[in-house]
Amino acid sequence: MNHYLHLFRQDYFIADINTVTVEKRDHQQPFPLHDHDFHEIVIVCSGNGLHHWNDYIYPITSGDILYINPKDIHGYESVNNLKLDNILYLRDALFLSSIIEQYLPKQNTKHTERGWRIKPSLIKMVSPLIEQIAIESKKNNLASVHLAEALFLQLVILLDRIKQMPNTQSPTATHQLDLLFTVLHNSIATPFNLDIFCKQNHIAARSLSRLFKTQTGMTINEYLQKRRLCTAMSLLRNTPYSISMISAECGYDDSNYFSVVFKKETKQTPSQYRAKFSNKTNKR
């Protein structure tokens, strides 16, 4: 038995002829696990939260781009001022399919390779296109459908071009933030020292901390803890590793302290969390 919702295209596209539409979520609330019979590009505009995606959990924040396939199961929790632009599209029905396909991930690409980050400041480049798509997608005449697809083509090309941009910029504030995210993503199992990072990269720690809080709504330590807890949740759900081994994998030297932090954030112990998902698996 499946334990998630099913969303259907007829509830989001205004007519059978429409192939692209936009669902803006200025205040995304927690949303249970679900799948849908359409493709989706999720652009995280601001705020933060946890994204469940095919039995893995990731912190998301401003600048994250996610390409969701119909067979994916995903949902949101622990949201904090989360603002999303969701672009829904019927991949197999696109009039411009042969061109658009060149700028989308392959259909069989693993979900772990269908999510990446852009600099939060670059979201301003794609926002006008999304607004135009939203306007045209609310009409059901053929010219508007074609125009919506043409705008969608511009969007996916722009996103692909941004992804391919060489990282040769001077150490601007957004570039400093990108450096920090890269290091934090690689610091799950090892300690992170902000002062050492800032000295190595010639960055002022106080201004970087302020910038990080402005962009994500979290402190650097809060974000790193979210990443570690997300890794722990994924390991508890998908591996037989002991809790002490998982705590070490997630950067906690003391498994008791790890359990205290985990319970504070999730309202359940690691063992209770694991048992809950074991029970669901057995019922399917």
Q: What is the pLDDT of residues 142-156, one digit of tens each?
A: 999 999 999 999 999
224 vs 219: CA distance, rounded Å? 9
Say if residue 235's pLDDT is above 70: yes
Which of the given ranges, 122-131, 140-149, 246-255, has the highest pLDDT on average? Answer: 140-149
Q: Where are the beta strands (DSSP E) in the chain?
A: 5-7, 20-25, 31-36, 39-53, 56-61, 64-68, 74-89, 115-117
Q: Does the pLDDT value for residue 28 go beyond 80?
A: yes
pLDDT of residue 150: 98
Predicted pLDDT at 3: 75
pLDDT digits (tens, 9 = 90+) for 170-224: 456 667 887 888 888 888 888 899 999 999 888 889 989 998 888 888 899 999 9
Start and end residues for every CATH 1.10.10.60 domain found in the chain? 173-283
Residues of the chain above pLDDT 70, percent: 94
Q: Which one is the CATH code of 173-283: 1.10.10.1100, 1.10.3720.10, 3.40.50.300, 1.10.10.60?
A: 1.10.10.60
Q: How far is CA 273 from CA 91, 178, 227, in A?
A: 36, 32, 17
Task: Specify the pLDDT at position 175.
Answer: 73
Q: pLDDT tens for residues 264-275?
A: 888 899 999 999
Find out whether 261 and 252 touch, Cβ atoms under 8 Å.
Answer: yes
Going by the DSSP 8-state scheme, the letter that residue 126 receives in this structure is H
Q: Tell me the one-letter amino acid at 222.
A: E
C-alpha angle with apex 70: 69 to 74, nearest 5 degrees? 75
CATH 2.60.120.280 residue ranges of the chain are 5-164
Interval 45-58 mean pLDDT:
90
Q: Which residue reads 């672009």 in tokens? A: 87
Mean pLDDT of the chain: 90
Q: What is the mean pLDDT of residues 34-62?
A: 92
Provide the CATH topology of domain 5-164: Jelly Rolls (2.60.120)
